[in-house]
């Protein structure tokens, strides 16, 4: 009987992977590593809405470093954690943000993209996306420290697909640790930004 | 043991058929898989497609001889790059009295919400309807193709029949239109 149960379980796992082609763009051709369907979330948040966001400094692909607190009193900050370079969904997320800078500007916000990859990997990957207007930051070393501080580091060392919005006062106003297999809709970010005002 | 072997055989057959049906884009000569697209909110787009009202429509209902479907995404860099070419294709069709009304364009936004497509349409001044496919349901039925992907169908009594199915954009809208015209078997009028 056990063998039947094990077999049926395997069957379910195999079938769940059938409809999983969410990295769509031909821009990446065959270079996207298919990870299959993953556990939707795999971490425990260490911050909550209303908390002061933990400060961090990370190196940017474009050079230099970006510190979260440099925006305090000046801009709202949207942080987009994505799991890893060259994986499905992630590769079709930031290119969309690349064409909506005005939606962030209009709401007096900046966007920071963060992954746990190193700079050379991020350089090659983001070059395939066209020109990104926002800083792409590497949380590679110490590995995933910033993701871990927020509680969005998964047990396999990748980050969650998460959106955090931090207001000008440095307070966390929105957290969406999204199903890693799905891309959050753009309107969910814009609606939250519009609530913040000045 | 015999039961287990039977179980394996059935499972392999099921998995194979699922892969076969889910993984293949529609090929020339086949009927387009059934799909329901959201009726456009914009009156001019409903008029363009020849639709009155309702929540959804099927490609077969489009008032045209030929429909070109572009499977695209706001998040796809190549679709962004391709947008001006599609706009030019639309202008070539609409500006030609022999083709206007006979060939229609529809974009299908794989994984895109209506809001995201509105953003895309405004960004690139897209003049033709874009239909959301937020849950990838249509994308799955079309074999989970990469984007942009073009499918040309001819509206026949039995349903929309595929005559063109190809991955990737085109550089020359005029040449693409000529190819569509030739492959569709459309006859010139007037």
Whether the CB of A96 is below 8 Å from some CB of chain B: the reply is: yes
pLDDT at A143 over 90: yes
Q: How many angstroms separate the CA atoms of B86 and B68, rounded?
A: 11
Q: Which fold has domain A2-196?
A: Glutaredoxin (3.40.30)
Query: What is the mean predicted confidence (pLDDT) over A60-76?
Result: 97
Most A CBs within 10 Å: which of B25, B75, B117, B168, as the mutation test of the A interface? B75
| pLDDT at res. B6 | 61
Q: How many angstroms separate the CA atoms of B72 and B112, rounded?
A: 9
Note whether B25 and B145 are within 8 A (CB).
yes
Contact B113 A26 (CB under 8 A): no
Task: Calculate the average pLDDT of chain B.
Answer: 89
Most A CBs within 10 Å: which of B144, B146, B147, B148, as the mutation test of the A interface? B146
The model's pLDDT over A42-66, given as tens digits with 9 standing for 90+, comes to: 999 999 999 999 999 999 999 999 9
The pair of structure tokens assigned to B144 is 């989970």
pLDDT at A2 over 70: no
Of residues B167, B150, B7, the one with CA closest to residue A27: B167
| pLDDT at res. A5 | 53
Distances (CA, A) of B145 to A51, A73, A82, B137, B167: 43, 45, 23, 12, 8
Q: How many angstroms separate the CA atoms of B110 and B147, rounded?
A: 9
Q: How many angstroms separate the CA atoms of B63 and B54, rounded?
A: 16
Q: A20 or B50, which is more confident?
A: B50
pLDDT at B180 over 50: yes
- Residue B35: CA atoms inside 13 Å, Cβ hemisphere, count? 23
| pLDDT at res. B22 | 52
Catalytic residue among A35, A79, A90, A147: A90
pLDDT at B1 over 60: no
* Phi/psi at A90 (5° precision): -55, -45
What structural domains and CATH numbers belong to chain B?
26-184 (3.40.30.10)
**Chain B residues touching residue A9 (CB < 8 angstroms):** none
| pLDDT at res. B23 | 57
| pLDDT at res. A29 | 66
Contact B11 A7 (CB under 8 A): yes
The pair of structure tokens assigned to B152 is 């040309």
Query: What is the mean predicted confidence (pLDDT) over B37-64?
Result: 95
Q: How many angstroms separate the CA atoms of B134 and A183, rounded?
A: 10
Whether the CB of A133 is below 8 Å from some CB of chain B: the reply is: no
Query: What is the mean predicted confidence (pLDDT) over A6-18?
Result: 45
Query: What is the mean predicted confidence (pLDDT) over A102-129?
Result: 96
The pair of structure tokens assigned to A55 is 């400060």
**A90 an active-site residue?**
yes
pLDDT at A21 over 70: no
Task: Calculate the average pLDDT of chain A.
Answer: 88
pLDDT at A13 over 50: no
Shortest CA gap A150–chain B (Å): 26
pLDDT at B151 over 90: yes
What's the CA angle centered on A167, arms A166 and A171, to 5 degrees?
A: 70
Burial B80-107 (b: 16+ CB within 10 A, else e): bebbebbbbbbebbbeeeebeebbbbbb
Query: What is the mean predicted confidence (pLDDT) over A160-178?
Result: 98
| pLDDT at res. B53 | 79
């Amino acid at each position: 009987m056990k063998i039947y149960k094990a077999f049926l379980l395997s069957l379910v796992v195999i079938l769940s992977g059938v409809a999983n082609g969410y990295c769509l763009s031909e821009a990446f051709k065959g270079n996207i590593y298919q990870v299959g369907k993953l556990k939707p979330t795999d971490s425990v948040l260490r911050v909550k809405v209303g908390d002061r966001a933990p400060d961090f400094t990370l190196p940017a692909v474009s050079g230099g470093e970006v510190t979260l607190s440099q925006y305090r009193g000046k801009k709202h900050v949207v942080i987009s954690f994505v799991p890893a370079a060259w994986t499905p969904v992630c590769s079709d997320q930031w290119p969309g943000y690349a064409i909506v800078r005005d939606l962030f500007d209009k709401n007096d916000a900046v966007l920071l993209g963060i992954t746990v990859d190193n700079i050379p990997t991020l350089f090659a990957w983001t070059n395939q996306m066209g020109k990104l207007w926002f800083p792409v930051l590497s949380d590679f070393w110490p590995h995933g420290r910033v993701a871990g501080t927020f509680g969005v580091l998964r047990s396999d060392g990748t980050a969650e697909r998460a959106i955090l919005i931090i207001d000008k006062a440095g307070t966390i106003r929105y957290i969406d640790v999204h199903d890693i297999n799905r891309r959050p809709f753009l309107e969910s970010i814009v609606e939250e930004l519009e609530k913040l005002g000045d | 043991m015999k039961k287990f072997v039977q179980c394996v055989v059935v499972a392999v057959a099921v998995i194979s058929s699922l892969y076969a049906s889910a993984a293949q884009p529609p090929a020339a000569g086949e009927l387009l898989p059934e799909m329901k697209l959201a009726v456009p909110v914009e009156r001019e787009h409903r008029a363009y497609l020849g639709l009155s009202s309702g929540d959804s429509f099927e490609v077969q209902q489009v008032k045209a001889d030929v429909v070109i479907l572009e499977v695209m995404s706001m998040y796809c860099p190549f679709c962004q790059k391709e947008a001006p070419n599609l706009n030019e294709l639309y202008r070539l069709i609409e500006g030609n009295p022999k083709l206007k009304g006979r060939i229609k364009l529809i974009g299908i936004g794989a994984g895109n919400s209506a809001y995201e497509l509105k953003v895309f349409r405004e960004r690139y001044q897209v003049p033709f309807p874009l239909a959301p496919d937020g849950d990838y349901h249509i994308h799955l039925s079309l074999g989970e193709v990469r984007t942009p992907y073009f499918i040309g169908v001819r509206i026949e009594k039995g349903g929309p029949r595929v005559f063109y199915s190809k991955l990737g954009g085109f550089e020359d809208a005029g040449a693409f239109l000529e190819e569509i015209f030739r492959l569709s078997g459309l006859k010139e009028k007037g």
